[in-house]
Amino acid sequence: MANERLQYLDPSGRARSGLPDLKPERLRELFIHMLRVRCVERRMLDLQRAGRIGFVGTAKGLEAAIIGSAAALDKNDWLWSGLREGGAALMRGLPLSEYLAQMYGNGNDTAKGRQMSNHFQHAPSHYPSWSSVIGTQIPNAVGAAYAAKLRGSTEVHAVYFGDGASSSNGFHSGLNMAGTWQVPVVFVLVDNGWAISLSSRDQTAAESYGDKGAAYGIPAQEVDGNDVVACHVAMGEALERARSGSGPSLLVLSTYRVSGHSSSDDPARYRDPAEVAAWERRDPLERMERYLLGAGLLQEGDAATLEQGLLDEIDSAIHEQEAAAPVRLKTLVEDVYSEVPRHLREQYNRFLEVAQRHGKAQPGDGAFPL
């Protein structure tokens, strides 16, 4: 049986006994990062509804789980993401301009417009993009952690996934390998209540997701995923355990996906609005704001001012990306291999002839030498 669910701030924002001694500035930062995620995603939904971008999967309701845990990572640690960790990438160094360029799939996108939107990456801060296939990143992270261990590096690999992914092949093979190899990895299971339309209660007959760790010899910690402080502290302990060579652990951050699975989903078709309303009352941002107000670390009105500042910054970044150059046509065949092989050069050149004939090519789309 998994241990008791860790919680430091109750839903009303009151600190429970044993609250760890975090610096006031750190606590404020956690709140601001959460607020930033919510602001960015609100604008992404606006853009999606306006037809400017294609697909948005928000972290609304999950901000404490994602930000609280990811904020505990060191600079050299890796964050292996799923759909909803883009806000953590922003916090760890992904420039807002690159985040937006990915959503637009424009010429500034480091992935060259190849992935559907909401698939972020940032190699400088060790944040590979996920593929969309559920759970495949789990063994990938374990392999990368093996490499870290072999090199004697102190980096830890944190891999994020949802309750749905706990049923995937990758979850089983990844946790099994990690337990066997004792590599520095932290499995972060964000139980957000729903895998599209399947309730997390129907995803498994296990009594708790934490119980799953036992089968692999991996200790688990269940955490109130709407308590940013608890998520932060639990992650810090799991990272420390991995870094000191004591092996992998499983964190289960229990929270609730307040929005639909994505901008293409209508959650009213499969879940009770009363359930959503109940979770909206447990909003992680409001909880942290109430705590900060009570502790005198935030004044009435501060949150609104911060929010306006963030939205202004986001809006100006959006204007820049609206004006970005389109993706070059040559990217159709680049990066399949380290060098563009002859058959792809030929395919592209033939395509380009047709595109040019119809005035669809841009300067810089020139043919490859054969």
Partner 1 sequence: MTTRTLIQAVNDGLRSAMRADDSVLVFGEDVGPKGGVFLATEGLTEEFGEQRCFDTPLSEDGIIGTAVGMAMNGLRPVAEIQFQDFIFPAFDQIVSEAAKLRYRSGGQYSAPMVIRTPYGGGIRGGLYHSQSGEAYFCHTPGLKVVIPSTPADAKGLLLAAIADPDPVLFLEPKALYRTVKGDVPDDDQPVSLSSLRVVRQGSDVTVFCYGAMVPVASGAAEAAAEKGISVNVIDLRTLLPLDEEGVLAEARKTGRVVTVHEAPRFCGYGAEISALIAENAIEYMEAPVRRVAGFDTPFPNTLEHHYIPDQRRVLDAIEEVYNF
Binding site for partner 1 (CB under 8 A): 78, 109-112, 114-115, 119, 121, 123, 128-129, 131, 133, 136, 138-148, 150-151, 157, 169-170, 172-174, 176-177, 180, 331, 334-338, 341-343
Looking up tokens 């997390």 gives: 200
Query: Which residue, 196 or 344, is less far from partner 1 as judged by CB?
Result: 344
Query: Which residue, 107 or 309, is less far from partner 1 as judged by CB?
Result: 107
Q: What one-letter code names the amino acid at 341?
A: P
- Bridge partners of residue 187, in order along the sequence: 159, 250
Distance of closest approach, residue 72 Cβ to partner 1, in angstroms: 21
Distance of closest approach, residue 338 Cβ to partner 1, in angstroms: 4
**Distance between CA atoms of residues 86 and 103, nearest Å:** 11
Query: Which residue, 123 or 278, is less far from partner 1 as judged by CB?
Result: 123
Q: Count of alpha carbons within 13 Å of 321, Cβ hemisphere only?
A: 24
CB atoms within 10 A of CB 28: 17
Cα–Cα nearest to 178, from 208, 140, 132, 224: 140
CB atoms within 10 A of CB 253: 30
Query: Which residue, 120 or 291, is less far from partner 1 as judged by CB?
Result: 120
For the beta sheet containing 78-80, the strands, ordered from the edge strand earlier in sequence to the opposite edge, are: 78-80, 157-162, 185-191, 249-254, 220-224
- Bridge partners of residue 194, in order along the sequence: 199
Query: Which residue, 97 or 115, is less far from partner 1 as judged by CB?
Result: 115
Distance of closest approach, residue 240 Cβ to partner 1, in angstroms: 21
Q: Count of alpha carbons within 13 Å of 302, Cβ hemisphere only?
A: 14
- Bridge partners of residue 186, in order along the sequence: 158, 249
Query: Which residue, 48 or 121, is less far from partner 1 as judged by CB?
Result: 121
Distance of closest approach, residue 330 Cβ to partner 1, in angstroms: 12
Distance of closest approach, residue 342 Cβ to partner 1, in angstroms: 7
Distance of closest approach, residue 303 Cβ to partner 1, in angstroms: 36
**Distance between CA atoms of residues 206 and 261, nearest Å:** 23
Distance of closest approach, residue 310 Cβ to partner 1, in angstroms: 27
Query: Which residue, 213 or 267, is less far from partner 1 as judged by CB?
Result: 213
Query: Which residue, 93 or 341, is less far from partner 1 as judged by CB?
Result: 341
Distance of closest approach, residue 347 Cβ to partner 1, in angstroms: 11
Cα 341 to chain centroid, rounded: 34
Cα–Cα nearest to 248, from 334, 148, 336: 148
Query: Which residue, 115 or 208, is less far from partner 1 as judged by CB?
Result: 115
Q: Produce one character per residue of 259-290: b if its CB has 16 or more CB atoms within 10 Å, e if not.
A: bbbbbebebeeeeeeeebeebeebbbbbbbbb
Distance of closest approach, residue 305 Cβ to partner 1, in angstroms: 37
DSSP structural state of residue 251: E
Q: What one-letter code names the amino acid at 258?
A: V
**Distance between CA atoms of residues 29 and 23, nearest Å:** 10
